[in-house]
Amino acid sequence: MITLSLLRLPARLVALAAAVLLPSVVALAQTAPPPPGPEQPGAALPIMPPVAAIPVTDGSMQIVWEVRNRFRLFREERDFREQAEALRGLTVLASEQALGLQSEGRGWARNVVNRLCIDLTGRVNEPCTRDGVKESYLTPTEHPVTVRLTGAIPVGAICAWLFDDGDGPRASTLDCAEPINFRARYGKPTVATVDVTSGADAPLRVTTEIMVRDFFIAGLGDSIASGEGNPDRPIALSDDGFCYRSYLGIGSGARPGQYYRPSRAGYKGGRACEAPDTLANWQRYSATWFNAACHRSLYSYQTRTALALAARHPHIAVTYLPLACTGATIADGLFGSQRPRECYRTKTGANCPGNVNSQLAELREALAAARKRQPQRGLDLVLLSVGANDINFSGLVADVIVDSPTERGIFRRSGVIGSIEESRSALARTLPQSFSKMREALKGLVDDMSRVVYVTYANPALANRGVPCPGGRAGFDIHPSFDADPNRLAAVASFVDNEFLPRLKDLAQCSGGVLCRNPSADAMTFVDAHQRTFAHHGFCARADTDPEFDRACFSPRGDSFTSDIVAAANSPMSCGAGASNYRAYLPRARWIRDANDSYFAAMTFPQGLPAAIQPADIHDATWGVVSAVYGGAVHPSAEGHAAMADAAVPAAEAVLQLESGPNVISAPLPPPGAVE
């Protein structure tokens, strides 16, 4: 049913409308709609527009319309309006930087994450109450639309509106300066007609067709796809220290097997290594993720791409289903279940799922449920990034940054540390086979493989126009055993640039000797435009315009933390400032989270590790290592994801046959303090 939202008219306008249009009321009496619903407070009986009206053909007046709250993941329109306003005339990157400054670095998603149509376990709310109206999330039956008359409108004119979708017209009359709201039927055009009456002149008639296109978009893939590194509500840090043990006595001071780093704010348990506490007590103060088990984040490029499409195109709606999961491979993640990354916090404790369901199975189930209600419902777009875990990229990162012989030996035996030779072998054999299997599975979900938009990775270790990062402890001194080895780092950067990324492109596009059944039809839409900009913004990039805390407290010499263990218990930062001053979402030169960023933003306890290497308690030496990297080290920041979204949006628009959005400023905002 189409419902109208009307505003009360001034008495003089009501009188004029009654005099001009009263005969039409009688004609409509038998088809009057039911009483006003929640969207139409104070609505009067509908009034049909007069029949004797002169069509406007010179364009002096026009009907304009837009879908309200058209990113359907958001339950409340205020959250969409904030994003739409931030994106007006700007790139996704520039809008992210502006929102980061506006929130003083705390991030815009912290206030949105609990107001979604998908809960923190990943369950779709069916129905979802959006702006006071219950809707099916996967299969909308109608969309809220705002309609206005614009142009050379006579002063004081009265507008008699008629909306007809073929199931009976609905009409109303109000001042032409006022917008009118109604709910347009899904999949059906609505003819909107307005007769404009001013004084004794003959009414003028303007007509248009309203047809909302609702796009069903799914996000699949690994940690780059999920948004790892960017919790929706970052960890709140304490200015006090928290004790970690070290393997075989690595440390300093009177107790060399221990070291202190910033604690979680609010935590009142044992901070000293000799005072262990329960994980449940510690977990109560963890970061908040859109989905903790997969470290899904609203900052992910997939979410930002879907959101930008909705913001840029007022005549569409976007139904977005995020399924990407950190740690996913094609075999374990897309096709099979996988370990959860982390428990999610509840008021009574922590909820720890045994595993995370297969992404492809989840997508098939959602599509089947949607088609059961709407047989014509299909998947319009898939955003995809996967392959890095299939060649054990995290093992390459560990090989670069873990420098202590003790830790290197332990982690190599447990499989945490990998090698280029092992990754090269997987790139030549395992990944192509898995990719081919995935391609065949996706063919059963989309009607055209071009609808799969594969967004590739960027090299995280480049800065200063593509020069590899020099290595060292800067950004990695959160753990005593970390020290990015320059030679291993250069070798990995070369492998990524010259072997891994080119092979991914071949696999996605059926080129370079990759065998596809039908290369022209099996090629995915491939996106790599963001790689050029990331060449300036790797994890080692620094600038005088970086946040004050970073410049003062993250030492380029790798001595950011107090070495004296007695002093560090109360003041772990060498700079003397409190760790609570760190802000995860202020603009920075680096768009890749280093290990310090990972700890300060997420400080994740590793529930997803195999049982053999699970920490024994919250001061365990293994926990000390993984707490520094398990929350997103060497992953894009929110700015990095925004840059990826800027590359993905034009490709998605082309696939969906949307006109390019409005002109935007292509350059990001200058960093804080920069001179324009």
Q: pLDDT per residue over 310-319, tens digit each? A: 999 999 999 9
User: By three-state DSSP, how is residue 294 classified?
Assistant: coil
Taking the C-alpha atoms of residue 388 and residue 384, their distance in angstroms, rounded to an integer, is: 12
Q: Region 326-333: what's the mean pLDDT?
A: 97
Q: What is the pLDDT of residue 616?
A: 78
Taking the C-alpha atoms of residue 300 and residue 636, their distance in angstroms, rounded to an integer, is: 9
Per residue in 608-657, pLDDT tens? 666 766 777 889 888 888 888 888 999 999 999 999 999 999 999 999 99
What does pTM read for this prediction? Answer: 0.89
Q: Which run of H or E residues covers position 438?
A: helix 430-443
Same domain, 152 and 268: no
Final residue in a domain of this structure, among 161, 180, 211: 211
Q: What is the pLDDT of residue 673?
A: 41
Q: What is the pLDDT of residue 228?
A: 97
Q: What is the pLDDT of residue 580?
A: 97
Main-chain phi, psi angles of 267, to 5 degrees: -70, 125
CA distances, 525 to each of 127, 173, 428, 565, 629 (Å):
33, 48, 22, 53, 32
Q: Above 90 in pLDDT, residue 577?
A: yes
Structurally, how many domains does the chain consist of? 2
pLDDT band at 578 (very low <50, low <70, confident <90, very high): very high
Residue-number span of the structural domain to which 527 is assigned: 77-127+216-655
Q: Is residue 664 part of a domain?
A: no
Q: Is residue 8 part of a domain?
A: yes
12-16, 72-76, 93-97, 366-370: range with lowest mean pLDDT: 12-16
pLDDT band at 352 (very low <50, low <70, confident <90, very high): confident
Same domain, 206 and 220: no
What are the structure tokens assigned to 641, written together?
């994801």
**CATH code of the domain covering residue 403:** 3.40.50.1110
Same domain, 205 and 262: no
Q: Above 50 in pLDDT, residue 33?
A: no
Q: Above 50 in pLDDT, residue 226?
A: yes
pLDDT band at 575 (very low <50, low <70, confident <90, very high): very high
Q: Above 60 in pLDDT, residue 9?
A: no
Q: What is the DSSP code string of 266-279?
A: T--S--STTS---H
What burial class does residue 166 get, using C-beta atoms within 10 Å of its C-beta: 0-12 exposed, 13-18 middle, 19+ buried?
exposed
Per residue in 186-224, pLDDT tens? 989 999 999 999 988 889 999 999 999 999 999 999 999
In this predicted model, which residue has the larger pLDDT, 36 or 485? 485
Taking the C-alpha atoms of residue 523 and residue 12, their distance in angstroms, rounded to an integer, is: 64
Residues whose CB is less than 8 angstroms from the CB of residue 611 and which lie 6 or more positions away in sequence, other chains included: none
pLDDT band at 53 (very low <50, low <70, confident <90, very high): confident
Taking the C-alpha atoms of residue 144 and residue 133, their distance in angstroms, rounded to an integer, is: 10
178-192, 278-292, 532-546: range with lowest mean pLDDT: 278-292
For 386-541, strand residue ranges (E) read 452-455, 462-463, 467-468, 525-527
Same domain, 32 and 102: no
Q: What is the pLDDT of residue 23?
A: 34
10-14, 401-405, 644-648: range with lowest mean pLDDT: 10-14
Q: What is the pLDDT of residue 604?
A: 85
Please name the amino acid found at residue 50: P
In this predicted model, which residue has the larger pLDDT, 427 or 23? 427
Q: Region 512-525: what's the mean pLDDT?
A: 93
Q: Is residue 133 part of a domain?
A: no
Same domain, 167 and 287: no
Same domain, 442 and 537: yes
- Share of residues in the chain with pLDDT > 70 (%): 87
Taking the C-alpha atoms of residue 191 and residue 166, their distance in angstroms, rounded to an integer, is: 9
Q: Is residue 660 part of a domain?
A: no
Final residue in a domain of this structure, among 211, 240, 271: 211
Same domain, 229 and 198: no
Same domain, 403 and 527: yes
Same domain, 544 and 406: yes
User: By three-state DSSP, how is residue 299 classified?
Assistant: coil
Sign of the CA dihedral 40, 42, 46, 49? Answer: negative
Q: Is residue 665 part of a domain?
A: no
Q: What is the pLDDT of residue 410?
A: 83
Same domain, 316 and 461: yes
pLDDT band at 345 (very low <50, low <70, confident <90, very high): low
Q: What is the pLDDT of residue 409?
A: 87
Taking the C-alpha atoms of residue 242 and residue 245, their distance in angstroms, rounded to an integer, is: 10
Final residue in a domain of this structure, among 182, 211, 240: 211
Q: Is residue 668 part of a domain?
A: no
pLDDT band at 256 (very low <50, low <70, confident <90, very high): low
**CATH code of the domain covering residue 164:** 2.60.40.10
Q: Say which DSSP state 608 is in.
A: T
Q: What is the pLDDT of residue 275?
A: 87
Q: Region 304-327: what's the mean pLDDT?
A: 97
Q: Is residue 21 part of a domain?
A: yes
Same domain, 194 and 339: no
- Share of residues in the chain with pLDDT > 90 (%): 73
Q: What is the mean pLDDT of the chain?
A: 88
Same domain, 170 and 279: no
Q: Above 60 in pLDDT, residue 255?
A: no
Q: Is residue 661 part of a domain?
A: no
Per residue in 534-550, pLDDT tens? 999 999 999 999 999 99
Taking the C-alpha atoms of residue 635 and residue 341, their distance in angstroms, rounded to an integer, is: 15
